[in-house]
Structure 1
Amino acid sequence: MRAAVSRADNHQDPRYHGSGLLVLADGRVFRGRSFGARGTAIGELVFNTSLYGYQEIVSDPSYAGQIVCLTAVEIGNVGTNPDDEESDKPAAEGLVIRSLSPVVSNHRSTASLHDWLAGRGVVGIAEIDTRALTRHLREQGAMMAALSSETDDVEALRARAAAAPPMLGRNLVDAVTTPARYTWDTPSWGARATPPVAARVIAYDFGIKRNILRKLRDQGIETTVVPASTPVAEVLAARPDGVLLSNGPGDPAALEHVIAALRELVDASERLPIFGICLGHQLLCLALGGQTYKLKFGHHGGNHPVRDERDRSIAITSQNHGFAVDIDSLGAGATLTHLNLFDRTVAGLELDGRPVSGVQYHPEAAPGPNDSDRLFERFAAKVRDHAAR
C-alpha cells in the first residue's frame, strides 16, 4: 500500500525538502511535508503541550526513543542557538508539527530549526493535523510510529512501527549517559551574579539536562556529573555534600543495576542529601522497594498543576515522563509531598526524617515556568548544611 502524493507536493516551498509520511503502529496515517534530516525515524509517539521551547524539548535526552508531536501551531519562529541546547547527546528521534515558521527572528538565533534538526540527525514533518493526532493519542495511548522522508510505502512503515520494541522494559539510559565524569560551573543564561561555590554535589547522569546543572550553580553548588554505572563506593569516596539523581529516558524498572546501586547509596548514610528528578525520582522509589507503572499517554508539557501537600501551594510545572510511581507500594517511611492535579498521580515524596526526596516533574523547566525554583533552593540548603558539618 502506498500513500497518495498530496497536491502540496506540486508546489515548491523553501521550508521543506519534499513529502513526508507518519505511520502509527495501529495503521493511522498522516501525510505532510518533511524538513530537518532526511531519513526514517522509529519511536514511541507522544505529544507535548508546551507553547514554546521546541529546541529544549528536542534536545532533552528524556525523549530518547520517542517522536514528539508539538501541539503549538507554529514552530521555529525564533530559530535555535547553542545556549538553549539541553544536551548534545541522543534525544528525540523525530519532530511532528503543524506549521514550520517561514520567518526566523530572534537576536540569539544562529540557525533555523530546519538546519539545526538536520545537524542533529532528527527527521521532521510539518503540515500535519496535530489536533487530530493528539486526540488519537489521548484516546488510544502513546504508541510506536514511523516517520519518513525517504519512502511512501505505508505498509512497510506500519510494519516497522509495529515490530519496534515498546517503551515498556527498555533501558535507554546506557545510550545517553556521559562516558566520563565532568564538572559543571556555568550558571543560568543571563544570570546577574554567580555566587561563590559553597558546596559540591555529584550527579548521576541518566540523561541529565544542562539547566539542572545551571540551576544548581545559581545556588552556589558545583556539580560533578558521573556515568550512570559509577559505583556507589566511588561516589562516596569523593565525599560529596549531596547527590542528585537526574532525569532520563525509558522504563525505570529496566535499570536493575542502577536500582541496586541506589539502594546501597540510600543505606550508606542517613545524613547525605539526595534529590531525584523525574527518572531519578522513579529510580529512587524503586530502590526503596516501590513500583512504577506505564501511563496511557504520559505527561509532556509546561502547564501541569502540582500541589505541595505540606503547605497546599500550587506550582505550574514542566513535565516529561511516561511512567509514574505507585505510592501505596512504598509503605511506611515515605511521605507524599506533591500531587499532580491533572490525574492525582504522585508528583513528589520524601523519606521521613531524612534529607532524601524526589519529584516527578522538571523544576529546572527549560522549557516551562519557574514556579519550582524553590526546590533547588531547598536542596541547596540541605547540601550546604551537610557541608558545614
Structure 2
Amino acid sequence: MSEESGHAGFSPGRGQSGVSDPPHFPDAADKLVDTKSLDPFSGPTGVLLLADGTRMQGRLFGSCGIGQGEIVFTTGMCGYQESMTDPSFRGQILTFTWPLLGNYGIHRGMSESSGLHPRGIVCRELMLNPDHRDSIGSVHEFLAAHNVPGICDIDTRSLTRKVREHGTMLAIFGPSEQEEEMSVLLDQMEPPDKNDLVAEVTITKPVVINPGALSASGSPLRKLAVLDCGIKFNILRELCNRFEVMWCPADMELQDIMTLWSPDALFASNGPGDPAHPGAARKAKETLAGAVRQGLPVMGICLGHQLMGLAAGLRTYKLRYGHRGANQPVLDLQSNKVHITSQNHGFAVEDPSRGMLAPHPSGALSDTGENILNSEFTVRYINANDGTVEGLDLINRPCFTIQFHPEACPGPHDASLLFDRFSTTVDDNIKSHQELRSRA
C-alpha cells in the first residue's frame, strides 16, 4: 500500500467480530504528533477568486499557500476533522457554513483516512486555541502538517448563497500579492472531475482486514469483498463488526476477487469524482455488475450507488451544488419513514420517471447505457428536499444501494441499521442456496 492511497500504515485485527483486537487504521492526526514545531500563525492577507469573477478577502492559515479546485460547501455544525479526511472531497475546496471552525481541536482516532483530501479549506472564523482535553492540536496546525492551505474571515453565508444559486464552480485562493498569478491559473484550470480521482484514493493491493473474525457465538463471520473507491475508515469498522472483510482496489476484477478469496458478498464504497469517468470507477462498475449477475449479494454506498445506477442503464448527472452535510432528510418509499442522513456527493442517479432533478448549470450528464445487471430495479429512497434518487433495490436480487452514509461519521445514526439489513440479506442468501442444494 502506498502513501498516495491514503491507507499506508494499516495493520489487521483479529478476534471476536474483529474488534476484540481491532484493525489499526493510519490516522491523519498522527502527523500533528510528528510535527515538532510550526511557524507562529500570523494570518497573512489572502484573496479568494471564483470563476464567475467574485473576489473575497480573508486571512490565510494552514500551509498559507495556494489552494485551487471546485468550491463546495458542507452544512455540518461539527465533524470537521472527519470531513477534511474524507476521500470524497478529493480535488475540492471545502467551505464550512457553520461560522466557527476548530473549537474542539483535532483528535486521535477521528480521521476517516491517513491524509487530508480537500485542496483547500474556507471558513468564517478560525479558532486557534481549541478547548478540549483530548485535543492534540488546532485546525491550523493540522492543515500545516499536511501542507494544505486554508482561508478564514470569509463571508461564508454570501459564498454559500452564490454556490446555491449558480452551482459549484472553480475557485482559487492564496496570498494577496499573488492575485494576478492566481487569476491566470484560474482561467487555465480544468474541473477536478476530469481526473481519475478514484485511482488517486483507492488502496493499491487487496488485504484481509480482520482475518479469522468470529461472531459473538464463535462462528466464522461471512466473507465480504469491499471495493475501495475512496472508503471512509468508519465504514470499514462497521463492516468488520459484521463480516470478515477483504479490502480491495477499485479496479480489481471480479474473477481475481473470486479466485483469491471467494467472498459471500460484495460491497462498493463512497468515493470522489464523476461516476462515469472511464478510469477506475468504470472497472468497479463492471465488477459490481458481474457480481449481481452471479447472484452475489451486493450493497453500494454513495459512489457505489451511482455505479450500480449506471450498470442498471440509468444516467448519472452533476447536481447544482450537491448534498454535503449531516442533516439531509431521506424518505423510504417502502416504509414511508424519513431518515436524517449524512451525505457527501456532487453527482446523482437520474430518476427513471422524473429525469434530472436539481441539475448543475453545466449540464454534465453521462451517456445512456444498457442494463448490464440482468435485473430490474425500483427506486427505494428519495431526498425529501429535492426529490433526487437516494437508493435502489434490485428486484428478485439480494442487492440494494443507498446514496447517503449510514456509518454516522460525522452525522446522525438514523440509517445505521442498513448495515444490519445487508448482513441479514447475505445470511438469507446463503441459507436459500443451502436449502436448494439439500433438495437437489
TM exceeds 0.5? yes
Q: Which of these residues, 242, 246, 265, is aligned with residue 265 of structure 2?
A: 242
Deviates more, 1:233-242 or 1:366-375: 233-242
Contact 1:167/1:251, CA 8 A, preserved across alignment: no
> Residues of 2 paired with 1:342 and 1:348: CA distance?
15
1:107/1:324 CA distance change after superposition, 3 Å: same
Confirm whether residue 351 of structure 1 aligns to residue 376 of structure 2. no
Confirm whether residue 335 of structure 1 aligns to residue 359 of structure 2. no
Deviates more, 1:133-142 or 1:102-111: 102-111
Confirm whether residue 203 of structure 1 aligns to residue 235 of structure 2. no
User: Any idea what the Cα deviations from partners look like across 1:41-62, whole Å, max 9, x if unmatched?
Assistant: 1110001101100000010000
Q: Which residue of 1 aligns with 2:314?
A: 290
Q: Which residue of 2 aligns with 1:91?
A: 117
AA aligned to 1:119 is A
> Residues of 2 paired with 1:286 and 1:124: CA distance?
36
Q: Which residue of 2 aligns with 1:55?
A: 81
AA aligned to 2:377 is A
AA aligned to 1:314 is V
SS in 2 for 1:136: helix
Query: How far has the Cα of 1:273 moved from its partner?
Result: 1.0
Confirm whether residue 37 of structure 1 aligns to residue 63 of structure 2. yes
Q: How does 1:96-175 map to 2 (within 5 A)?
A: 96-149=122-175, 151-175=176-200
Query: How far has the Cα of 1:145 moved from its partner?
Result: 0.6
User: Any idea what the Cα deviations from partners look like across 1:208-231, whole Å, max 9, x if unmatched?
Assistant: 10011111123x222211111111
AA aligned to 1:292 is T
AA aligned to 2:204 is P
Contact 1:263/1:287, CA 8 A, preserved across alignment: yes
User: Any idea what the Cα deviations from partners look like across 1:66-110, whole Å, max 9, x if unmatched?
Assistant: 000000011101111231110114511111011111431223322
Query: How far has the Cα of 1:35 moved from its partner?
Result: 1.1
Query: How far has the Cα of 1:373 moved from its partner?
Result: 0.4
AA aligned to 1:36 is G
Query: How far has the Cα of 1:368 moved from its partner?
Result: 0.7
Confirm whether residue 308 of structure 1 aligns to residue 319 of structure 2. no
> Residues of 2 paired with 1:342 and 1:211: CA distance?
27
Q: Which residue of 2 aligns with 1:364?
A: 407
> Residues of 2 paired with 1:194 and 1:221: CA distance?
14
AA aligned to 1:361 is F
TM-score, structure 2 normalization? 0.79
Contact 1:145/1:162, CA 8 A, preserved across alignment: no
Query: How far has the Cα of 1:168 moved from its partner?
Result: 4.6
Superposed CA RMSD in Å reads: 2.3
AA aligned to 1:106 is H
Q: Which residue of 1 aligns with 2:255?
A: 233
1:258/1:67 CA distance change after superposition, 3 Å: closer
1:304/1:180 CA distance change after superposition, 3 Å: same
TM-score, structure 1 normalization? 0.89
> Residues of 2 paired with 1:292 and 1:183: CA distance?
32
Contact 1:206/1:249, CA 8 A, preserved across alignment: yes
Deviates more, 1:29-38 or 1:296-305: 29-38
1:197/1:365 CA distance change after superposition, 3 Å: farther
Confirm whether residue 24 of structure 1 aligns to residue 47 of structure 2. no
User: Any idea what the Cα deviations from partners look like across 1:133-153, whole Å, max 9, x if unmatched?
Assistant: 11111111100111214x533
SS in 2 for 1:152: helix
> Residues of 1 paired with 2:217 and 2:183: CA distance?
51
> Residues of 2 paired with 1:195 and 1:37: CA distance?
50
User: Any idea what the Cα deviations from partners look like across 1:260-310, whole Å, max 9, x if unmatched?
Assistant: 553354345453111111111111111222210111111111111000111
Contact 2:127/2:138, CA 8 A, preserved across alignment: no
Contact 1:94/1:123, CA 8 A, preserved across alignment: yes
> Residues of 1 paired with 2:244 and 2:300: CA distance?
17
> Residues of 2 paired with 1:351 and 1:241: CA distance?
18
Deviates more, 1:55-64 or 1:224-233: 224-233
> Residues of 2 paired with 1:167 and 1:93: CA distance?
10
Q: How does 1:69-84 map to 2 (within 5 A)?
A: 69-84=95-110
AA aligned to 2:347 is F
1:291/1:96 CA distance change after superposition, 3 Å: same
User: Any idea what the Cα deviations from partners look like across 1:292-341, whole Å, max 9, x if unmatched?
Assistant: 01111111111110001110111001111111101317888110000001
Contact 2:72/2:92, CA 8 A, preserved across alignment: yes
Q: Which residue of 2 aligns with 1:189?
A: none
> Residues of 2 paired with 1:158 and 1:361: CA distance?
36
Percent identical residues: 40
Q: Could you list the runs of 5+ residues in structure 1 that have no partner in the other structure?
A: 1-12, 187-192
Confirm whether residue 255 of structure 1 aligns to residue 278 of structure 2. yes
User: Any idea what the Cα deviations from partners look like across 1:314-372, whole Å, max 9, x if unmatched?
Assistant: 10011111111013178881100000011000000011011111111111121111111
Contact 2:199/2:280, CA 8 A, preserved across alignment: no
Q: Which residue of 1 aligns with 2:205?
A: 180
Q: Which residue of 2 aligns with 1:8?
A: none
Deviates more, 1:30-39 or 1:128-137: 30-39
SS in 1 for 2:420: helix
Q: Could you list the runs of 5+ residues in structure 2 that have no partner in the other structure?
A: 1-38, 353-367, 435-440
Q: Which residue of 2 aligns with 1:7?
A: none
> Residues of 2 paired with 1:351 and 1:125: CA distance?
45
> Residues of 1 paired with 2:220 and 2:128: CA distance?
44
1:323/1:194 CA distance change after superposition, 3 Å: farther
Query: How far has the Cα of 1:38 moved from its partner?
Result: 2.8
